[in-house]
Amino acid sequence: GAGVSQSPRYKVTKRGQDVALRCDPISGHVSLYWYRQALGQGPEFLTYFNYEAQQDKSGLPNDRFSAERPEGSISTLTIQRTEQRDSAMYRCASSQGGGGAGVTDTQYFGPGTRLTVL
Amino acid sequence: AQSVAQPEDQVNVAEGNPLTVKCTYSVSGNPYLFWYVQYPNRGLQFLLKYITGDNLVKGSYGFEAEFNKSQTSFHLKKPSALVSDSALYFCAVSRGGGYQKVTFGIGTKLQVIP
């Protein structure tokens, strides 16, 4: 597609429910990243993929958070048993290469999903 | 570890005046440095990046940034500010070498006053 898309744009859920956030990267982009952005803060790294392989998940805050990218394109970030502290903007980005050329690629961001946990 | 500091929460500048948004970084090795802009209710948009070479990097919308290795800084600049430049600006760093994890600063709000 022309840009990174995310769905839903807004999600309101009750504490204890599971949520799944979707990211559709720019077509052909190898790498896909998930960030969480709290109000007044910069994006905080959660995890990233090269193709379908999860390369780094060091930013996932606990085992309630998981992500997958089974076919190397669309990715889903799942939060189980949501808590109020999970409320934030969740951003997805993609980049062209997988770092194989020894460079850090430019990341292109989607519009984000605003999650509110009541 | 890698980190970014944006020491100013907000920068106010009059329209037509030059603007500077400050950023300092900490990273081992040679840094990759980025600036992004976020308009209200929009995603982050890439402005420019430094990889290597010329210390002055030119980017979108007339913005430029100057890499200073000795001061570990990467300040964003524009010669003449527009009201439409008012937005939230994020500096980011990575240690390069194929490492894809990027660390962002907390952002600086730029307010251009007509």
What number is the average pLDDT over the span A38-63? Answer: 93
Contacting residues of A for B32, CB less than 8 Å apart: 103-104
Residue B55: strand pairing partners: none
- Flag whether pLDDT at A1 surpasses 60: no
pLDDT of residue B41: 77
pLDDT in tens, A57-74: 999 999 999 999 999 999
Contacting residues of B for A110, CB less than 8 Å apart: 43
Cis preceding-peptide flag for B114 (omega within 30 of 0)? no
Contacting residues of A for B102, CB less than 8 Å apart: 33, 45, 104, 107
Contact B100 A31 (CB under 8 A): yes
Q: What is the pLDDT along chain B (114 residues), one digit of tens a residue?
A: 899 999 999 999 999 999 999 999 999 888 999 999 999 878 899 999 998 888 999 999 999 999 999 999 999 999 999 999 999 999 999 987 777 889 999 999 999 999
Chain B nearest CA to A101, separation (Å): 7
Residue A84 burial (C-beta neighbours within 10 Å; 0-12, 13-18, 19+): exposed
Question: SS3 of A116, please?
Answer: strand
